Chain A
């Protein structure tokens, strides 16, 4: 089985490329995704292979474009709607939350919209769009929101998203875009939506994470190992609906819980994770949520660098938790 070392960006493009080659109903809609190669080179090479009929550039009209893509998916196509940056999600919230999230249920299965809303967000070397909006999409029932924490997951999740018969919002962490490379299987493969991954099995504490914080937890776990603390990492992969049974199972085993995500703490995904675990599991210590402070995300590097959890935050939180119990 052959594989290549790819960055997250390259892995997503490979998934889309392989799928477009075998499924003519997959098309892309978005700004600058053609010859330009996409913002942050997110569609590099695709236009050269698939041309204007399948890589369709649009005006700067996100609401209209997202709705157009939804309508296209109701008439036989499987569009990947590229929303340039995830902090535009509130702009298209109506189309996502009131239109696409409702279609399957309200029509009693007669109108299904098999589209992917592909976007990219969070802080990173590219600094212009750092805000994280996945919690906004998670309260309203009917949407599936996924975010990969690594190149291999990125490919598999994108394939699953393209093959889903219902809407999937796919958020790429900008921080990981041109980041670490990983061996990614060259064949096309899918990772099941709604299932978490356990990249590290352990017994002392459950570290729940997604997107950029997966890597964070891995770096923290390596440091904690030197202190004799054995961490289990649960990478949600699908943020909504998240894999409740995997999270609960891990928490039941370790009986300690730390959640870390980049988005704001108040009503964030961490809040739902903690509420879920606490209602089913008797923990040995109070659970800890590490997240962005509840302040709009500023630009200056010192302010920006302190707007999200760090490896040290995790190590400190876990050490403290284990010292007490």
Chain B
């Protein structure tokens, strides 16, 4: 989560436009943290870098994708947020249109089932995306074919300036998915341990041939849709509420409580990760950039 947070912070500060996942790290890291080798990860663009790192891409590679360096997995063709390494079974987002990742990601699971394989596919997407037609078609098929897939909705409650619940006829995404007879639950998306419990159950179900699972991970988008958006449509009250539920601090407080870890150690850990990220950044920024001739 710290890797994700520090990468996001650096990008937020350095780039003219950036789409950070502040406050949503427990969802992304929780969703993809239980996958084993051979499994497929289909991350949402928001928070994707943390997922890239979890699934084996190096910090240097991830940063290379952000800075259009020749070490980027797509040679600069994909934006940093979209540039997952498919050789590590991370589905890249080759289009900026939302939806196709979820539906084609489900195809990975379909092929796996037809081949008699054991790989599980975890697919993340936002609450706004859930209103798209293709999501409905896809969830329907995941159930009729009983596919080995776990859907995680990064339910941060906003699509740019729209409050999702004003535009969704259903009570919650969990009740919506349940309408397809897919086992679904609403989970506290800021509690990484709750996320892991829910995800592990979904992965186990998928791997044993029990079909799809839907996790509505309730969280909050700390900040605007992108860095230039001041999110004035969010109320002060909700911002404060969710600030107090910052997923990283929640985990740290739990670790301190359950394992007696001191403040200094927490701070040292943070500093160490931040240094790693910034060191890697400095190294990559000095490396070779992509040119028209790059192959």
A–B: direct contact at CB < 8 Å: yes
Identify which of A53, A68, A98 gathers the most chain B CB atoms within 10 Å of its CB: A68
Please choose the segment from A58-66, A172-180, A280-288 that sits at the chain B interface, where 4 or more of its residues have CB less than 8 A away: A58-66
CA of A94 to CA of B106, assembled, Å: 17
Name the contact of B114 in the complex, choosing from A58, A77, A106, A107 (C-beta under 8 A): A77
Bitwise, B118-144 to A at CB < 8 A (1) or not (0) is 000000000000000110011011001
Q: Are B73 and A75 in contact (CB under 8 A)?
A: no
Q: Which B residue sits closest to A66, measured CB to CB?
A: B103
Known: A63-B133, A94-B100. A68 touches B94 (CB 8 A): no
- Whether the pair B78, A111 counts as a contact (CB closer than 8 A) is no
Q: A-B pairs with CB below 8 Å: how many?
A: 119
Contact B104 A70 (CB under 8 A): yes
What are the residues of chain A within 8 A of B202 when measuring CB–CB?
Answer: none
Q: Which residues 56-109 of A sit at the B interface, judged by CB distance below 8 A?
A: 56, 58-59, 61, 63-65, 67-77, 94-95, 98-99, 102-103, 105-108
Contacting pair B134 A111 (CB below 8 A): no
Q: Does A27 contact B (CB under 8 A)?
A: yes
Q: Does B168 contact A (CB under 8 A)?
A: no
Interface residue A320 (Cβ < 8 Å from any Cβ of B): no
Q: Do the beta carbons of A65 and B141 come within 8 Å of each other? A: yes
| Smallest beta-carbon distance A324→chain B, Å | 46
Q: Given A53, A61, A69, A95, which contacts B140 in the complex, CB threshold below 8 Å?
A: A61
Residues A71 and B111 in contact, CB atoms below 8 Å apart: yes
A65: chain B residues at CB < 8 Å are: 137, 141
A70: chain B residues at CB < 8 Å are: 100, 104, 107
Range, interface on chain A: 20 to 34
Query: B252 at the A/B interface (Cβ < 8 Å)?
Result: no
Tally chain B residues at the interface, Cβ within 8 Å: 35
Contacts of A69 in B (CB 8 A): 107
* Interface: A226 (CB within 8 A): no
A67 touching B138 by the CB < 8 A rule? yes
B158 to chain A, nearest CB (A): 24
User: Which residues from chain B contact A75 at a C-beta distance below 8 Å?
Assistant: 40, 107-108, 111-112, 115
Of chain B, the residue at the smallest CB distance from A54 is: B114
Q: What is the CB-to-nearest-CB distance from B145 to chain A, in angstroms, rounded to a whole number? A: 8
Task: Closest B residue to A111 by CB, please name it.
Answer: B86
Cβ-based interface call for B30 (8 A): no
Residue of B nearest to A68 (CB): B107
| Docked complex Cα distance between A98 and B101 (Å) | 11
Give Cα distance in the complex from A94 to B105, angstroms.
15
Answer whether A67 and B77 are a contact pair too, CB < 8 Å, given A72-B111, A107-B92, A110-B87. no
Residues of A within 8 A of B140 (CB): 59, 61, 64
B141 CB contact (under 8 Å) in A61, A94, A98, A110:
A61
Interchain CB contact under 8 A, B110 and A68: yes
Cα(A99)–Cα(B107), bound, Å: 13
Q: How far apart are the CA atoms of A103 and B105 in the complex, in Å?
A: 13
- Does any Cβ of A come within 8 Å of B75's Cβ? yes
Residue ID in chain A nearest B139 by CB atoms:
A64
Quick check: A76 and B115 within 8 Å, CB to CB? Answer: yes
Contacts of A77 in B (CB 8 A): 111, 114-115
A71–B137 contact, CB under 8 A? no
Q: A61-B137, A68-B138 are in contact. Are A105 and B111 (CB under 8 A)?
A: no
CA distance A58 to B145 in the complex (A): 9
A53 CA / B115 CA spacing, docked (Å): 10
Asked if B154 lies at the interface with its beta carbon under 8 angstroms from chain A, I say no
How long is the Cα–Cα vector from A67 to B134 in the complex, in angstroms? 9
A30, chain B: closest CB distance, angstroms: 13
B103 → chain A closest CB, angstroms:
3
Residue of B nearest to A64 (CB): B137
Residues of B contacting A74 with CB < 8 Å?
Answer: 86, 91, 104, 107-108, 111
Pick from B74, B78, B105: contact of A71, CB below 8 A: B105
CA distance A106 to B92 in the complex (A): 9
8 A-B pairs closest in CB distance = A71-B107, A64-B137, A67-B103, A61-B137, A75-B111, A98-B95, A71-B104, A102-B94
Known: A53-B114, A68-B106. 17 other contacts (CB 8 A): A63-B133, A64-B134, A65-B141, A72-B111, A74-B104, A74-B107, A75-B40, A75-B107, A75-B111, A76-B111, A94-B99, A102-B94, A106-B78, A106-B92, A107-B92, A111-B86, A111-B94
17 contacts between A and B (CB under 8 A): A27-B114, A58-B141, A63-B133, A63-B137, A64-B134, A67-B107, A67-B138, A71-B109, A74-B107, A74-B111, A76-B115, A95-B103, A107-B78, A107-B86, A107-B94, A110-B85, A110-B92
* B interface residues with partner A (beta carbon < 8 Å): 40, 73-75, 77-78, 85-87, 91-92, 94-95, 97, 99-100, 103-112, 114-115, 133-134, 137-138, 140-141, 144
